Amino acid sequence: MAYEFKEDDVICSCTQLTKQQFLAAIKDQQITSLDQAREKTGVNVACGLCIYIVEKLLADSLSLQ
Ligand code: FES
User: Per-domain residue ranges for the chain?
Assistant: 10-63
Is residue 59 lining ligand 1, measured as CB closer than 6 Å?
no
Cα(2)–Cα(34) distance, integer angstroms: 22
The second-level CATH assignment, the architecture, of 10-63 is Orthogonal Bundle (1.10)
For ligand 1, whether the C-beta of 44 sits within 6 Å is yes
- 11 Cβ below 6 A of ligand 1: no
Task: Give the mean model confidence (pLDDT) for residues 34-62.
Answer: 97
Answer whether residue 65 shows pLDDT above 80.
Answer: no
Is residue 1's pLDDT more than 80?
Answer: no
User: Greatest CA separation found in the chain?
Assistant: 32
Predicted model pTM: 0.93
Name the 3-class secondary structure at 36.
helix
pLDDT tops 90 at residue 38: yes
| Under 8 Å between Cβ of 57 and 10 | no
Rounded mean pLDDT of the chain?
95
Of the residues 9, 15, 41, which should be mutated to test ligand 1's pocket, given the most ligand atoms within 8 Å of the CB? 15
| Residue 3 binned pLDDT confidence (cut-offs 50, 70, 90) | confident
